[in-house]
Amino acid sequence: MLKRLSQLFARGASQESLAGEARASSVSSAVIDTPFDPVRPDKKSLIGLHREAAGLSLNALKVRAAQSGQYLSSFRGRGMEFDEVRPYQAGDDVRTLDWRVMARTGKPHTKLFREERERAVLLWVDSRRSMFFATRGAFKSVVAARAAVLLGWAAVAQGDRIGGLIFSEQQHEELRPQGSKHAVLHLIQRMVKQEQLAWEQAKAATQHNSDVASDAAVQSLLRLRRVARPGSLVVLLSDFRDVEERSELHLAQLARHNDVVMFFIYDELESTLPPAGLYRVGDGEQAVTLDTTAAAARDAYHQRFIERRDALQALCRRHGICFIPCSTTQSMTQRLREGLGMRGVV
């Protein structure tokens, strides 16, 4: 039973039957900031989030940050960008020598850097099949989209650039960091388009393939590493299903040179089974009868979720990543306000 239910979660909700249930339940069970579609991200409500993002400050988030061998209590700060090359002078750090210029001229030259005026905030947004699911509140994909846009508005308000990567099993879309509100509007446009494509692909797929989902996550993290310049803020928005050991290498490398925040998005049914009884659960294509009469089965199910959450939390602790769990029923605006300004595990 647990295996079949897990497969249903991984398939995602690909039909309007489950979507209708989510719409109905979201009115009573979710803490809603402003009215929005809990099943599909829409441009109007996402654009309107700029009002709710007004009080958010990304500089307040406390995560581990190493610089010059020290531990700081806030973000690593803005990165350094190349400025110019000049002839070597006594006392210059040999690590900044420009070997290409030296090979061409036969004389040592030093690279000079200056602090970036804008910091890059990179969003890793998961649009794989398992994100199209919720029994309460909003779909995980909608939660991720709203969080991304709230962070985007907050970033540009404080003069930073916003970019990142949106991915599904079939597509990866890279957004180069840009400043101003137009960057957020572009992010919204691309997320809505990507979500529409991923939704259509999810409906067309006959079954969930965990290997394909895992490969998509690994490849997108690899691409994110190539985009992220030292000193960036990297925010991961996902349910982290089918994200396994291969991904840890990329996460470790990202955290080594950047501040990384992991938003673990989950639905309550993925965490805890409902009270004892028989429940019919389906996605419009497949259905399972959920028997929760056995207390041992309910306990085992919950323990399985705890182990998955704890494994992600342990990974974050190993690499100095800020871990913020968020259920589909929580107000994303409030969750961000709680997470911003708190250190480590929230």
- Residue with more model confidence, 58 or 272: 272
Q: In angstroms, how far is CA 83 from the centroid of its own chain?
A: 32
Choose among 40, 220, 271: nearest CA to 140.
Answer: 40
Q: What pLDDT is attached to residue 238?
A: 96
pLDDT tens across 105-152, in order?
999 998 876 555 578 999 999 999 999 999 899 999 999 999 999 999
Tokens 């409030």 belong to residue: 334
- Alpha-carbon gap, residue 165 to 122, rounded angstroms: 8
Token output for 276: 């004892």
Choose among 197, 180, 61: nearest CA to 128.
Answer: 197
What pLDDT band is residue 20 in, cutting at 50, 70 and 90? very low
Highest mean pLDDT among 18-32, 65-79, 91-105, 163-177: 163-177
- The CA-CA-CA angle for residues 227, 112, 256, to 5°, reads 40
- Alpha-carbon gap, residue 234 to 236, rounded angstroms: 7
* Residue 185 clears pLDDT 90, i.e. is over it: yes
For the chain, what are the domain ranges? Answer: 2-66+118-339, 81-115
Choose among 184, 168, 155: nearest CA to 220.
Answer: 168
pLDDT tens across 303-324, in order?
999 999 999 999 999 999 999 9
Sequence-distant (6+) residues with CB within 8 A of 84 are 111, 112
Q: Average pLDDT in the 22-39 region?
A: 54
* Residue 22 clears pLDDT 60, i.e. is over it: no
Provide the whole-model pTM. 0.77
Choose among 139, 127, 322: nearest CA to 217.
Answer: 127
Dihedral sign (CA 337, 331, 224, 209): positive
* Residue 19 clears pLDDT 50, i.e. is over it: no
Q: What pLDDT is attached to residue 12?
A: 61
Q: What pLDDT is attached to residue 23?
A: 40
- Alpha-carbon gap, residue 132 to 289, rounded angstroms: 20
Token output for 161: 């650039």
303-311's contacts with Cβ under 8 Å and 24+ in sequence apart are: 304/2, 305/266, 305/270, 305/271, 305/272, 309/264, 309/266
Contact indicator for 22, 328 with CB cutoff of 8 Å: no
- Alpha-carbon gap, residue 66 to 75, rounded angstroms: 9
Asked if the 2-66+118-339 domain carries CATH number 3.30.465.10, the reply is no
